């Protein structure tokens, strides 16, 4: 690594020393931390006997008050926004084994270069200026002794942090930083509970990996994206072979334009003339999820669990990237996988080996899907049709439309539970997702800026997931699930049919759940 950092001092001599703020560059933005306070207010309201109808507005009010009192009224100056970009470069340097002093110098140089490229007058888009900044970082790195692989990694990470910090109305946070922060919070809680260090490391690794896989998936690249990526590779190859940044940029831009003109359909750049991934944003998210599922299976994952994980990624990808598209609700299999994850974490916390815990989680997943996910497709549609007729009759007899709809929804759920089988129990994390989604929906209905609503929901979810802890306690409903799966297995061992064993187990589950709700 030593030769890779010789370029730091050249950068500093050329650009002058930049100011450098201490502290992690991945700290959540102020408004997102206020989202965490909103989540705490919501949970306290519910614990004090409030209802969701009263506690969601209370949470939004707490968020607004926090933002008004704690967050700057105006966004920070451009140069200040470059500081966390420098922080991110320093942290990547340290994580790669670099000397602490040299990594600090690297962060200072990157912050200065960010200011030079981003903070002047320019008609270019912010994302293009971040790309120029990352190209400058790559060129300086390679021309002063850094390896192509190292310089490419540093410049790519710096570009992501540049876009997050400078291209929004307020500074943001990359998805990977959110996952790292979540992992740190879980690790601190794990240590505070007295779990062994090696156990905490395994739990944190699992949390961060799943967060990245579930929440950081981007849509599959369009044809235009692929042309730009090829041009970027050409630029970096040119620089690595001795070319200057300016000399290599022109041919790279020309190559991108020629590639797009020859291969990509007009419009949104989503053409697939080169065999690449095209289609709508939603389709590209699904394509990427499919690729993720195939990679998971290739790496030895259970196909059914890989499928569930991948479509969780697809839902989040659609929600984060596809404007105007409502993602589908979590599937039954996704809910089972979310519960299985908590089984895995509790097993690790109890001293189990990773292999044994994976086996336990797989068993819990299979038992859950066998009980809850085997209803015929016609079952749900039949209950929906019954509920629609109930709602129409209610309104025909003079009922209030809102009240009739609420009664119809309750009727549909009761029908589903009786005829199709109750849904799997909620995991701690799935409850967090539901709460965050509802906060976001209520926020949007009040006419609040969508970016603010997204920040509120993001902060609320992070705070809630952190409160779940390193190994969430088994809930009453999850205890019912364990008992029901045991009954299902006993009936099957007695030679009863799968359908009969399932019916008996679900009857126990429903009866047990009613005791949880008292």
Q: Average per-residue pLDDT in the chain? A: 86
* Cα-based torsion angle of the residue sequence 13, 18, 24, 30 in order, rounded to the nearest 10 degrees: -150
Average pLDDT over residues 117-132: 91
* 148 shares a domain with 266: no
Same domain, 25 and 87: yes
Mean pLDDT of 3-30: 43
Most confident of 66-75, 106-115, 249-258: 249-258
In a domain, 340, yes or no: no
Report whether pLDDT(461) > 80. yes
Classify residue 355: in a domain, yes or no.
no
pLDDT digits (tens, 9 = 90+) for 384-430: 777 788 888 888 888 888 888 888 887 777 776 666 678 899 999 99
pLDDT at 374: 82
Confidence of residue 1 (pLDDT cuts 50, 70, 90): very low
Residues 156 and 257 placed together within one structural domain of the fold: no
pLDDT of residue 475 exceeding 90 = yes
> What is the domain range of residue 99?
1-173
Residues 161, 227 share a domain: no
- The last residue of a domain, from among 270, 297, 330: 270
Q: Greater confidence, 466 or 277? A: 466
Residue 141 lies in a domain: yes
What does the pLDDT look like over 258-280, one tens digit per residue? Answer: 999 999 876 544 444 434 456 89
> Quick one: 166 and 57 in the same domain?
yes
Residue that terminates a domain, selected from 173, 191, 215? 173
Burial (CB < 10 A; 0-12, 13-18, 19+), residue 77, is: exposed
413 in a domain, yes or no?
A: yes
* 238 and 166 in a common domain: no
Q: Is the dihedral of CA 32, 33, 36, 38 positive or negative?
A: negative
Residue 147 · residue 7 · CB < 8 Å: no
- Distance in angstroms (rounded) separating the CA atoms of residues 463 and 184: 12
Contact 24, 92 (CB under 8 A): no
Q: Are residues 157 and 229 in the same domain?
A: no
Do 125 and 262 reside in the same domain of the chain?
Answer: no
C-alpha 223/C-alpha 269 separation (Å) is: 6
Same structural domain for residues 168 and 234? no
Q: How confident is the model at residue 383 (pLDDT cuts 50, 70, 90)?
A: confident
Residue 26 and residue 165 in one domain: yes
Does any domain span residue 190?
no
Query: How many domains does the chain contain in total?
Result: 3
Q: Is 292 exposed, middle or buried (0-12, 13-18, 19+ CB in 10 A)?
A: buried
Question: What number is the average pLDDT over the span 225-237?
Answer: 95
Instruction: Tell me the per-residue pLDDT of 146-178, one tens digit each, with 9 for 90 and over.
Output: 788 888 998 999 999 999 999 987 788 899 999
């Amino acid at each position: 690594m030593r030769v890779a950092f010789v370029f730091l001092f050249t950068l500093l001599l050329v650009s002058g020393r930049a100011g450098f703020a201490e502290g992690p560059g991945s700290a959540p933005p102020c408004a997102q931390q206020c989202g965490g306070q909103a989540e705490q207010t919501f949970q306290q309201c519910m614990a004090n006997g409030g209802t969701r109808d009263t506690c969601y507005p209370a949470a939004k009010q707490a968020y607004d008050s926090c933002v008004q009192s704690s967050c700057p009224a105006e966004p920070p100056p451009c140069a200040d926004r470059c500081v966390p970009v420098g922080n991110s470069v320093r942290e990547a340097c340290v994580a790669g084994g670099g000397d602490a002093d040299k990594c600090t110098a690297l962060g200072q140089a990157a912050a200065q270069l960010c200011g030079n490229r981003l903070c002047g007058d320019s008609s270019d888009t912010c994302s293009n200026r971040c790309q120029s900044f990352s190209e400058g970082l790559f060129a300086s790195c390679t021309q002063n002794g850094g390896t192509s692989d190292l310089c490419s990694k540093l410049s790519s990470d710096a570009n992501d942090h540049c876009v997050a910090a400078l291209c929004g109305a307020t500074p943001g946070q990359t998805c990977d930083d959110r996952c790292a922060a979540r992992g740190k919070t879980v690790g601190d809680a794990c240590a505070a509970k007295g779990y062994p260090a090696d156990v905490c490391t395994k739990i944190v690794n699992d949390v961060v990996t799943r967060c990245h896989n579930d929440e950081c998936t981007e849509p599959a690249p369009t044809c235009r994206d692929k042309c730009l990526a090829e041009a970027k590779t050409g630029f970096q190859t040119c620089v690595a072979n001795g070319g200057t940044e300016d000399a290599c940029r022109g041919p790279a831009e020309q190559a991108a334009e020629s590639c797009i003109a020859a291969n990509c359909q007009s419009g949104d750049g989503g053409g697939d003339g080169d065999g690449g991934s095209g289609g709508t944003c939603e389709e590209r998210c699904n394509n990427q999820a499919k690729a993720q599922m195939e990679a998971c299976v290739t790496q030895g994952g259970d196909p059914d669990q890989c499928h569930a994980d991948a479509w969780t990624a697809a839902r989040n990808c659609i929600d984060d990237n596809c404007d105007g598209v409502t993602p589908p609700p979590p599937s039954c299999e996704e809910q089972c996988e979310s519960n299985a994850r908590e089984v895995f974490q509790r097993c690790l916390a109890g001293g189990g080996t990773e292999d044994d815990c994976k086996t336990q989680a797989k068993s819990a997943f299979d038992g859950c899907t066998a009980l809850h996910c085997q209803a015929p497709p016609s079952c749900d549609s039949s209950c929906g049709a019954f509920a629609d007729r109930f709602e129409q009759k209610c309104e025909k007899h003079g009922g209030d439309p809102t009240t009739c709809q609420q009664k119809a929804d309750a009727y549909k759920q009761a029908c589903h539970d009786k005829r199709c089988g109750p849904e799997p129990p909620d995991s701690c994390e799935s409850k967090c997702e539901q709460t965050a989604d509802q906060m976001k929906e209520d926020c949007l209905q009040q006419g609040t800026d969508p970016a603010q609503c997204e920040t509120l929901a993001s902060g609320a979810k992070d705070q809630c997931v952190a409160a779940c802890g390193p190994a969430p306690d088994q809930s009453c409903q999850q205890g019912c699930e364990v008992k029901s799966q045991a009954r299902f297995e006993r009936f099957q061992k007695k030679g009863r049919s799968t359908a009969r064993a399932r019916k008996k187990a679900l009857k126990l589950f429903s009866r047990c759940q009613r005791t949880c709700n008292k």
